[in-house]
Amino acid sequence: MNSRHLSIIVKKEFRGLFSERTILLAVLLQLFIALFSSFLMVGLTSMYDPSSLSKYSRFRYNVGYAGNDSDVLTYLQSSRDFRVYKMDLSTGVEALKERKLAAVIWVPGTAPGAQDPIKITLYTLQNDLQSAIVDVKLKDIFLKYEKDLREIRADRLNEQPLPLQIPPSTGGGDFYEFVYGLLIPLLVFMPAIIASALVIDLITEEYQHDTLETLVSTPVTFSEMVWGKVLACELLVPVQAGVWLLLLMINGIAIQNAGLILLQVTVSSLILILLGTLTALHYRERTAAQFIFSTALVVVILFVLSLPANPMNLLTRLAVGTAGAEQWIVLAATIAVIVVLGYATQKYAERISRISHTG
């Protein structure tokens, strides 16, 4: 395989890359995510943990209070998070339906020292983001009231509860999970997914634009043409992933082992690129190839994520500096898969080349 011919193909593909609007838009989207990761952290964490928004909310919510007076009313009135309005239960529920109130609380007339339990009813809007925030803030009020009731009814306890020494929360869990568990793996693996989709376009367009025969008629062989396109897509991955890591670090996010992360991503991305190459060589039509590859990619990703030492977990551990010797085992296994796929790609390309010359 002639290295000069490979470089010619790579330069050709890089010149034509800027005409791919889809790829450029995907790159700009990743750039936006990397630059505004701290801002997006608030929005994306709310998708899987709406209660996390409560720590960022400084709004005072209107709450209706119905029933008998209690310490719950006192706590609500002294809270900076709520404006409390005493009203009948039916009036409060109607106001809640019209979204004039964020919640309605009904407290029964059961005395704090009574034998019966005190059952407080909370009315909120179902499947509402604001309700999730209000629920978390009201939980603190109810916990204070519950503590008061436990002290009042302490003489009823027959056994002394075992005290638990729970360390105080540091309050940085959501940011840590988002950045190291989602953002960094997403940004550094996205270039690999884009490159694997790009190689399909680069190969299938040769068939669809009838330029393959012209290209093969030059000293460049069909196999060199294929590997040149693979190399062009592979070179994009470490460059783009490195830029994202640099932007994250400029954004104030500490990342350990950036070099090892780039190594793992570069090697792993070659698997996806080779799979995309084989798909394009087999189907030779962009729409069919992209559909089949996208479907297969979902299956492959789900299978890989089910493994304990999958690349996503490995990247997270590398970023926080806790990865062990398993990173080299994963790297060796990845290289072994690449050797198999590379051999299959070479043989398939040679077979197509022979068929083309025979035809």
Are both 114 and 196 inside the same structural domain? Answer: no
- What is the separation of C-alpha 296 from the centre of its chain, rounded to a whole number of angstroms? 20
Does residue 45 lie in a domain region? no
Tokens of 224: 């060199």
Residue with tokens 């780039």: 262
Are both 220 and 317 inside the same structural domain? Answer: yes
Q: Which of 122, 151, 180 is the last residue of a domain?
A: 151
> Between 173 and 256, where is the model more confident?
256
Tokens of 52: 């996390």
Are both 95 and 242 inside the same structural domain? Answer: no
Confidence (pLDDT) at 207: 78
Are both 115 and 186 inside the same structural domain? Answer: no
pTM over 0.75: no
User: Which residues lie below 8 Å from residue 323, measured CB to CB, with a gap of 6+?
Assistant: 257, 260, 314, 317
Are both 296 and 340 inside the same structural domain? Answer: yes
C-alpha span between 349 and 227 (Å, rounded): 9
Under a CB-based contact definition with an 8 Å cutoff, are residues 142 and 63 in contact? no
Q: Which of 103, 121, 151 is the last residue of a domain?
A: 151
Are both 278 and 198 inside the same structural domain? Answer: yes
User: Which residues lie below 8 Å from residue 65, measured CB to CB, with a gap of 6+?
Assistant: 72, 73, 76, 84, 85, 86, 87, 92, 104, 105, 107
14-19 contacts, C-beta under 8 A, 24 or more apart: 14/232, 17/198, 17/232
Paired sense of beta strands 121-123 and 103-107, if any: antiparallel
C-alpha span between 6 and 1 (Å, rounded): 8
Given pLDDT bands bounded at 50, 70 and 90, which one contains residue 59?
confident
Are both 333 and 212 inside the same structural domain? Answer: yes
Amino acid identity for residue 3 in this structure? S
DSSP 166-221: PPPP-S-HHHHHHIIIIIHHHHHHHHHHHHHHHHHHHHHHHHHTT-HHHHHTSSS-
Residue 146 domain boundaries: 52-151
Does residue 25 lie in a domain region? yes
Q: Which of 119, 151, 183 is the last residue of a domain?
A: 151
Per-residue HEC secondary structure of 13-40 comes to: HHHHHCCCHHHHHHHHHHHHHHHCHHHH
Looking at residue 109, which CATH number applies to its domain?
3.40.1710.10
User: Which residues lie below 8 Å from residue 281, measured CB to CB, with a gap of 6+?
Assistant: 203, 226, 345, 348, 349, 352
The string of pLDDT tens digits covering residues 182-241 is: 778 887 888 888 888 888 888 888 777 766 666 666 677 778 888 888 888 888 888 888
Are both 19 and 128 inside the same structural domain? Answer: no
Are both 180 and 106 inside the same structural domain? Answer: no
Does residue 156 lie in a domain region? no
Given pLDDT bands bounded at 50, 70 and 90, which one contains residue 20?
low
In the chain, how many domains are there?
2
Are both 247 and 120 inside the same structural domain? Answer: no
Are both 198 and 344 inside the same structural domain? Answer: yes
Are both 249 and 116 inside the same structural domain? Answer: no
- Name which of 39, 46, 78 is nearest 60 in CA terms: 78
Confidence (pLDDT) at 338: 92
H or E, element range at 122: strand 121-123
The string of pLDDT tens digits covering residues 118-132 is: 999 999 987 676 777
